[in-house]
Amino acid sequence: MDFVELDRSFVPLSKDQEPSLDVGRLWGRKIGGWLSWKDLLSHRRVVLLAEASSGKSEEFRHQTDQLNAENRPAFYVRIEELADQGFESALDLDSAKKFEQWRVANNSGWFFLDSIDEARLNRKSFETALKHFKRDLGESFAHAHILISCRVTDWKGREDHATISRWLPAWDSAVPLTSNEEGHNALLDPIFLKKSRTSKRQQSPELKPNELIVVQLVKLSSDQYRALAVAAGVKDVDAFVSGIEQNALEEFTERPGDLLDLAYYWISHERFGTLAQMTAHAVERKLKELDAHRPDNEALSLTKAVEGAERLAAALTLGKSFTLRVPSHDPDPFLTAGALDPSSILDDWTDAERNALLRRAIFAPATYGRVRFHHRSTQEYLTARWLHRLLMANCPRSEIWSLIFAERYGVETIAPSLRPAAAWLSLDHPDIRDEIIRREPLTLLRFGDPGSLPIDARKGLLIVYAAKHAAAEISDDSMDHRALWMFADQRLETAIRQAWNANCRVEFRLALLRLICEGAIKECADLARKIVIDQSADDYLRIVAVQALKACDDDKALRIAAKFLMAPKSNVSARLTPAFANILYPKHLSTDALLKLIARTDPQRRSTIEGFACHISALYDAAPDAAARAKLLRGLADLCLAPPFIENYQRISKRHHELARNLYEIGLREVRALGNNEPSLDLVRLVMAIERSDQHNSKLDDGNEKLHELIRANSRLIPRP
């Protein structure tokens, strides 16, 4: 398959702390401290640590091609070739000519040195390779940008850092940073630009261009793995992504190799298997070395790799740890505190076998000198397989039982650290499954694979859950919607009704409605109908009831709900109205009816979810056609520009000020789509409302395309004297 440009991101890797990717995912690359390829190429020395299946070599080769296409000299070479032949001898004829031209020109050049790990597997000296490289570059060395890759298990932290600094030093010559453009169209400045203060939280220390930085690849985003799936030949990518989300397979989309495995499975089977089947498939794939020519490929059979992974997973789980020490690293007590030593766990293995296992794609970097299982659920699954293997080898059942089950202060419970493994183990052992249901039934919904439970076990779980919840024996009943989707089955109708009648508590009935919704269990839709029109019912209960009716395609009940919502004396709260509208529009609510609801519903206050403000973009997206969008645009502009105003100098509706603040994304989308067409008066008035709401100021520094920039670039939108 040809290379697919995914615009990968990178995060600096600390020696003592695993990087958190949450900030970058939520707030963007810049605020999260992530780096792009453009950022990396501005540095003189970069080390990229990545595990198998992450695509590091492909990225190196592609960047080499891209830079050369831009007439910026770039060279790719494997480190083991450097150690054997030196740099010039490792180049092909064309690259060698280009290298000579670069040395004469004394301009910046980029050098991608790939795979310290493979060099070490072939018993090549990394230090010798760097000596050869520096010698061949000669005096032009000062102009070189050097990027080096390595699997995390073969990175020797302090030692390799010192080696690179010794043989490939980067001088501290100043590299000017590109400043943000300043100065905007003077005519638009008063309207769309007001200088905003930069918060201290947004200010972060910048990396020095000549500092040696160590980075790792960020996980693929949904947009990136969509693009990769299309390139792999997935025809219905929406169905593919929906299958991933419903089956809780997102953790198998984080690296290109993992995603391609899913894509090929989907192409072959036209569906995904159960979570248990997909987890077993992923474990087997990740324990294989995909490169048949790697020297350690024959050091370890797949059967032995599975056995070793199970033993390591069980040791981590029972030892209440998540990290393993990497062999050949300096045993820094501070950095390796809490990490287990694989040589103590696999003490009957050779060093070559242990090292080969830790290089497999099932492991991922934690910090310098430590690795972990790529996904916690994989560790939990493998722990269960180890326990299963013990039981099949005639280990006394009482020993396994005493590990999993416990009694605390007279309460029968499950050992917290073993709940996930127990849930996986229950799929093969009915007695363990029945005991889990008796003690803590929700364990089988929260962990393992709820979709692989036998239907009788699911029915029994619901009945026990209802009784325990009614007796206040369950303090936390939170459940992931995907777990409910996997657990749901049309054959649960009788059990759902029995549980509904046994427990009338709001929290419990909410869980049952969510189950009906996720499984589209039409035979239980009547339970949702009664809740929707019950004005004494909890708001959130009624919202989930309407969602369940939609999932069950109960059009008759939804029409009744819409009529109820529009009734003059319906007395529907400001929280409930927009939630109902989100579900009922546009099929059961017209655009005129929606605008009427927005006008009469109490407006949203700041930092609340009541009112239409935070729902307006989703409602606008749901408009069925251009005519409906135009009508909605006009109606929203009318509401936001209607008196009474906040102040005489701020002529924005006092009642709908928060609504106007949330029109920014709609305005951005409409102006972007305008092209060379003449803007409508309604769009102009909407933009006026956005400007008067002052919301554009908070959007100036988010790193994305700005409304004021789009207006400035479109002459038809610029006011004329």
H-type helices in 359-480, by residue range? Answer: 376-392, 397-404, 419-425, 430-439, 443-446, 455-470
CA distance 327 to 332: 12
CA distance 309 to 320: 16
- Report whether 425 contacts 389 (CB < 8 A): no
CA distance 490 to 127: 64
So what's the pLDDT on residue 37? 93
So what's the pLDDT on residue 180? 38
So what's the pLDDT on residue 705? 58
pLDDT at 192 over 60: no
pLDDT tens column, 421-431: 999 999 999 99
Is residue 142 exposed (0-12), middle (13-18) or buried (19+ Cβ within 10 Å)?
A: middle
Any idea which of 67-81, 149-163, 399-413, 508-522 has the lowest mean pLDDT? 149-163
Smallest CA-to-CA distance from 263 within 462, 606, 1, 30 is with: 1
Residues found in the chain? 721
ω into 644 cis (within 30 of 0): yes
CA distance 665 to 706: 10
CA distance 508 to 194: 50
When comparing pLDDT for 31 and 641, which is higher?
641
First to last CA, the chain: 56
Would you say the C-alpha torsion 541, 546, 549, 554 has a positive or negative sign?
positive
- 58 has which bridge partners? none
So what's the pLDDT on residue 647? 85
Average of per-residue pLDDT across 209-223: 84
Q: Most distant CA pair in the chain: distance in Å?
A: 90
pLDDT tens column, 253-272: 888 988 999 999 999 999 99
Would you say the C-alpha torsion 604, 606, 610, 615 has a positive or negative sign?
positive
Smallest CA-to-CA distance from 543 within 573, 504, 500 is with: 573
pLDDT tens column, 9-59: 998 876 655 555 555 555 555 656 789 999 999 999 999 988 877 888 899
Residues 6+ positions from 568 with CB-CB distance below 8 Å: none
Average of per-residue pLDDT across 125-139: 88
Residues 6+ positions from 202 with CB-CB distance below 8 Å: 31, 701
Any idea which of 70-84, 106-120, 614-628, 695-709 has the lowest mean pLDDT? 695-709
> Residue 115: phi, psi to the nearest 5?
70, 75
When comparing pLDDT for 475 and 81, which is higher?
81
Percent of the chain topping pLDDT 90? 51
> Residue 75: phi, psi to the nearest 5?
-140, 140
Per-residue confidence band for 182, with pLDDT thresholds at 50, 70 and 90:
very low
Please give the structure tokens belonging to residue 659: 């609504």
How is 30-87 classified by DSSP, letter by letter?
Answer: TTTT-B-HHHHHTSSEEEEE--TTS-HHHHHHHHHHHHHHTT--EEEEEHHHHHHH-H
pLDDT tens column, 433-463: 999 999 999 999 999 999 999 999 999 999 9
Calculate ∠ Cα 640-646-649, nearest 5°: 100
pLDDT tens column, 353-371: 998 898 888 988 766 677 8
Smallest CA-to-CA distance from 532 within 495, 552, 491 is with: 552
Q: At residue 578, what is the residue type? A: P
- 48 has which bridge partners? 149, 215
CA distance 99 to 92: 10
pLDDT tens column, 475-508: 788 888 889 999 999 999 999 999 999 999 999 9
Average of per-residue pLDDT across 79-97: 87
- Report whether 658 contacts 606 (CB < 8 A): yes
Is residue 69 exposed (0-12), middle (13-18) or buried (19+ Cβ within 10 Å)?
A: exposed
pLDDT at 151 over 90: no
So what's the pLDDT on residue 59? 93
So what's the pLDDT on residue 367? 65
Cα distances from 672 to residues 32, 623, 719, in angstroms, run 27, 18, 18
pLDDT at 134 over 80: yes
- Report whether 411 contacts 438 (CB < 8 A): no
CA distance 175 to 206: 13
- Report whether 83 contacts 132 (CB < 8 A): yes
So what's the pLDDT on residue 174? 39
Any idea which of 38-42, 190-194, 285-289, 410-414 has the lowest mean pLDDT? 190-194
Cα distances from 60 to residues 55, 177, 313, 721, in angstroms, run 9, 24, 33, 53
Secondary structure letter of residue 18 according to DSSP: P
CA distance 657 to 676: 31
CA distance 375 to 315: 16
Smallest CA-to-CA distance from 563 within 572, 573, 574 is with: 572
pLDDT tens column, 228-262: 999 999 999 999 999 999 898 988 888 898 899 99
- Report whether 616 contacts 658 (CB < 8 A): no
Q: Name the CA radius of gyration of the chain, rounded.
A: 30
Per-residue confidence band for 337, with pLDDT thresholds at 50, 70 and 90:
low
- Report whether 419 contacts 450 (CB < 8 A): no
pLDDT at 206 over 60: no
So what's the pLDDT on residue 205? 45
Average of per-residue pLDDT across 574-601: 93
Average of per-residue pLDDT across 642-669: 89
When comparing pLDDT for 211 and 330, which is higher?
211
- Report whether 605 contacts 646 (CB < 8 A): no
Of 4-8, 509-513, 607-611, 655-659, the range with the highest mean pLDDT is 509-513
| DSSP-derived 3-state class of residue 336 | coil
Per-residue confidence band for 703, with pLDDT thresholds at 50, 70 and 90:
very low
